[in-house]
Amino acid sequence: MTLFRTVVATVGILSAGMGGGVRVAVAQERPAAPQPGARPGPRPPPEAPAARGGAAQWAGDGSFALADGRRLVFRGLILPTRLAVTEGLPAAAAAAAGPVLAGAEVRPAALHTDRHGRLVGDALLLRPGAPPSHLAAALLAAGAGYADPAQAPGCPLAAAEAEARQAGRGIWTLPGAKADARDVAGLSRRVGLFSLVEGRVTAAGATRDRVFLNFGERWREDFTVILAKEDFATIFGEGLPPARLAGRWIRVRGVVRLDGGPAISVAKAGQLDDLPGLDER
> According to the model, what pLDDT value does residue 2 have?
41
User: Of 209, 236, 206, 208, which is closest to residue 219 (Cα–Cα)?
Assistant: 206
Range scoring the smallest mean pLDDT among 47-51, 165-169, 242-246: 47-51
Q: What is the mean pLDDT of the chain?
A: 80
108: part of which helix (H) or strand (E)?
Answer: strand 105-113
- pLDDT classification of 108: cutoffs 50, 70, 90: confident
- pLDDT classification of 191: cutoffs 50, 70, 90: very high
> According to the model, what pLDDT value does residue 5 have?
37
> According to the model, what pLDDT value does residue 130 have?
87
d(CA 136, CA 120): 12
Range scoring the smallest mean pLDDT among 52-56, 101-105, 166-170: 52-56
98: part of which helix (H) or strand (E)?
Answer: helix 89-101
Q: Has residue 278 got a pLDDT over 60?
A: no
d(CA 256, CA 192): 6
Read off the pLDDT of each residue in 27-37 and give the average, rounded to a whole number. Answer: 48
Is residue 256 a contact partner of residue 192, using CB atoms and an 8 Å limit?
yes
> According to the model, what pLDDT value does residue 129 have?
87
Is residue 278 a contact partner of residue 241, using CB atoms and an 8 Å limit?
no
d(CA 213, CA 200): 10
Q: What is the pTM of this model?
A: 0.77
d(CA 51, CA 213): 48
SS3 200: strand
Is residue 265 a contact partner of residue 258, using CB atoms and an 8 Å limit?
no
Identify the residue with better confidence: 26 or 116.
Answer: 116
